[in-house]
Amino acid sequence: MNIDAASKGISRATIKDVAKHANVSVATVSRVINKNGQVAKGTSDRVWIAISELKYTPHAAAKGLRSHRTQTVGFLVPEISAPFQFPLLRGIEMIARKSGYSLLIHATEDIPLLSQPLRPIGEHNTDGLLVLVGSLTEEEILYFYRLKFPIVLICQSAPQSLDIPTILFENKSGAKKIVDHLIEVHGYRRIAFLRGPAKMEDSYWREQGYYESLKAHQIPIDLNLIGMGEFDEEAARITVKNWMKEKLEFDAIFAGDDESAIGAILAIHDMGKRVPQDIAVVGFDDVYLTHARIPPLTTVRNPIVEMGQKAMQQLVQLIQTGIADMKTLLPTELIIRHSCGCTDNTSE
């Protein structure tokens, strides 16, 4: 029992205590716990009993300092925001726990990591990083790349085509599917698009899918029908309200994500019109509560939990073996509910 610990009222058993209690050396205790090296069955049993009796668990810092492994990974987000990140976190946490990694979460909030004298997260306190789009600058990504520090990018391709593993949704085909549906099933021709933030790849590819569907159906692109949705409820609401005030004509809105779809629906109600009778609205993502809206939202389902799992699996592999898949594309699924004008779906 050391003085420091005692002064804090904490007296934790160390590997030394376990060794003494089991009448072996600390090296043997270490071998038993880490299941490396040969240990006689009887010895190993004694050690496990000692561990259990002393309620011993290895000190993470000591282990990390010696072994150069923190058994910890970091999840970087630009800021904590709910609808999309939660299923992602769920998938990540699930695999992290199963793989024996602790999970650190950190919001970068536009504060450069390297500029801080005591960096909040990085190679000094994790074995690898999961980087959600928007959380790191290209420069910061390059910093980790040059260090050969394991990172996996989520919803963002590697800059300069570097070999950094990336997980993406099949945005273009998903977008095409839902616009095809609006055109082929419902006969809409004037379909507005609410685009997401300019720099986001998800947004770019969804827009491409929208164009592709229009083109395939010989519908000319009308730039007046393309507005800022910003993947944001309030921004979308304002855009759609303005459209309606300007008497812009459209019979359906393809919102770049569900957040903006909800903003669109709210705007349409604000203006005294109905969804989908007057204007149909569809979204993208299928996040929390879209099924429980009235009308239930037709959207493209992204396998977000699976994305978190895949990302974490790739990171674990990268840390442990040095290799991982450079590009993982996750397929999307068209979810037809009522906001597009369909009424006879049985699913919920």
Partner DNA sequence: CTGAAAGCGCTTACAG
DSSP string computed for 179-196: HHHHHHTT----EEEEE-
> By CB neighbour count within 10 A (0-12 exposed, 13-18 middle, 19+ buried), where does 3 fall?
exposed
- The residue among 117, 133, 125, 168 whose CA lies nearest residue 149 is 125
Contact between 239 and a second copy by CB under 8 A: the answer reads no
Among 140, 202, 233, 286, binds a second copy (CB under 8 A): 233
What is d(CA 168, CA 179) in angstroms, rounded to the nearest whole number? 20
Q: How far apart are the first and last CA of the chain?
A: 60
Name the 3-class secondary structure at 261.
Answer: helix
Cβ–Cβ < 8 Å for 217, 201: no
DSSP 113: S
Q: Which is nearer to a second copy, 89 or 311 (CB)?
A: 89
In the complex, minimum distance from the CB of residue 43 to DNA, in angstroms, rounded to a whole number: 4
C-alpha–C-alpha distance, residues 341 and 339, integer Å: 5
Q: Which of 9, 42, 220, 272 binds a second copy (CB under 8 A)?
A: 9
Instruction: Show the site string, 275-314: x = touches a second copy by CB under 8 A, - = not.
Output: -------------xx--xxx--------------------
Least distance from DNA to the Cβ atom of residue 67, Å: 4
Q: Residue 271 in contact with residue 128, Cβ under 8 Å?
A: no
List the single partner that 72 binds among a second copy, DNA, none, CB under 5 to 8 Å by kind.
Answer: a second copy
Of these partners, DNA, a second copy, none, which one is at the site of residue 40 (CB under 5 to 8 Å by kind)? DNA
Q: Which spans of this chain sit near DNA (rule: CB under 7 A)?
A: 2, 4-5, 12, 14-16, 23-31, 33-34, 36-44, 56, 58-59, 62-63, 65-67
- Give 271-321 as a DSSP string: TT--TTTT-EEE-SB--TTGGGSSSPPBEEE--HHHHHHHHHHHHHHHHHH
43's contact among a second copy, DNA, none, with CB below 5 to 8 A by partner kind, is DNA
Which x/- pattern, by CB under 8 A, does the window 143-182 give for a second copy?
----xxx---------------------------------
78 binds a second copy (CB under 8 A): no
One residue of 27, 62, 216, 329 binding a second copy per CB under 8 A:
62
**Interface with a second copy, residue 247, by CB under 8 A:** no
Q: Tokens 């999840």 belong to which residue?
A: 75
Q: How far is the CB of 151 from DNA (least distance, A)?
A: 21
CA atoms within 13 A on the CB side of 261: 29
The Cα–Cα gap between 178 and 340 comes to: 10
Query: Which positions touch a second copy (CB under 8 A)?
Result: 4-5, 8-10, 12, 33, 48, 51, 55, 57-65, 68, 70, 72, 80-83, 85-87, 89-90, 93-94, 97, 100, 102-107, 109, 114, 117-125, 147-149, 233, 262, 265-266, 269, 288-289, 292-294
